[in-house]
């Protein structure tokens, strides 16, 4: 992709992995002094605006990332514009996004872990302990570091 204008992280409900990944990406872009890229999180199945999972919020806060007033939003066609890259957490979700969203293609929708060269998808911590969310955070942090290196 020639010019990245927006990065959207997408997961099932949009209340755990996607917003954690988005917040880590925002922090990494700030650390690299990259200011002109919009970063968002979306869910594939969001029936009503829902706050971030409390365990995800707690893990972010314990790592110095405070999130105010996050609400999960459903992925929409309007989210996929020119210059947008979508990073999905699971291969089966990638196929669904490409099938269901007009502007989503093989060239702008990627499984996050595969894109950075990892073989294992990002685990879904939903229903797990705070330690499970912490592990997911650590994996996401490592993956986002790889993503930053690959993109910039």
Beta strands in the chain (DSSP E): 6-11, 38-43, 84-88, 109-111
* Confidence at residue 68, expressed as pLDDT on a 0 to 100 scale: 83
- Counts of helices then strands in the chain (DSSP H, E): 5, 4
On average, the pLDDT of the chain sits at 95
* Confidence at residue 93, expressed as pLDDT on a 0 to 100 scale: 95
pLDDT (tens digit per residue) in 58-100: 999 999 999 988 999 999 999 999 999 999 999 999 999 999 9
User: Mind listing the domains of the chain with CATH numbers?
Assistant: 6-151 (3.40.50.2300)
Between helix 130-151 and helix 17-31 the angle, nearest 10°, is 40
pLDDT at 2 over 70: no
Closest CA to 9 of 33, 34, 43: 43
Task: Kindly list the distances between the CA atom of residue 137 and the CA atoms of 4, 45, 78, in Å, as whole numbers in the listed order.
Answer: 24, 22, 28
Largest CA distance in the chain: 40
Question: Per mean pLDDT, which range of 4-8, 21-25, 45-49 is the poorest?
Answer: 45-49
């Amino acid at each position: 992709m020639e010019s990245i204008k927006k990065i959207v992280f997408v997961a099932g409900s949009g209340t755990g992995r996607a917003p954690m990944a988005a917040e880590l990406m925002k922090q990494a872009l700030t650390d690299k002094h990259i200011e002109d890229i919009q970063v968002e999180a979306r869910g594939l199945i969001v029936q009503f605006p829902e706050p971030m999972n409390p365990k995800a919020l707690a893990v972010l806060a314990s790592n110095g990332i405070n999130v105010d007033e996050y609400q999960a939003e459903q992925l929409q066609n309007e989210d996929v514009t020119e210059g947008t890259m979508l990073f999905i957490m699971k291969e089966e979700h990638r196929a669904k996004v490409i099938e269901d969203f007009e502007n989503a293609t093989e060239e702008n929708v990627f499984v996050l872990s595969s894109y950075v060269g990892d073989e294992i998808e990002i685990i879904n911590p939903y229903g797990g302990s705070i330690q499970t969310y912490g592990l997911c955070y650590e994996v996401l942090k490592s993956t986002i570091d790889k993503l930053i290196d690959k993109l910039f």
